[in-house]
Amino acid sequence: MAVSANLEKALDKAFENVSLDELLAAPPSALAGLTERHDALFLEALNVKTIGELGSNKFIALAVALATLGGKQG
């Protein structure tokens, strides 16, 4: 089953037409709104060099899960 998603506004212009594998191997600054300074901060703080590592980081996964749970309260 083919899946398609428009990520145009979520990515830096230079990464809008790359494959998923290339995107996962790209630095976090390939995400719209992040810069090379953010790349350095992610590397220093979490030893994260790529979008794939960012997405699978245990601290980020936990924060997303907690935020999701928090959104279901109330």
Q: pLDDT tens for residues 21-73?
A: 999 999 999 999 999 999 999 999 999 999 999 999 999 999 999 999 998 65
- How confident is the model at residue 15, as a pLDDT? 95
49 half-sphere exposure, CB direction, 13 A CA radius: 1
The token duo for 9 is 């506004």
- How confident is the model at residue 18, as a pLDDT? 93
| Cα separation, 54 vs 56, whole angstroms | 6
Return the SS3 of 49: coil
Q: What is the pLDDT of residues 7-23, one digit of tens each?
A: 888 999 999 999 999 99
Q: Looking at the predicted structure, is the pLDDT value of residue 74 above 60?
A: no
Instruction: Return the residue matching tokens 């996964």.
Output: 61
Q: Which residues contact 65 (CB under 8 A, 6 or more apart)?
A: none
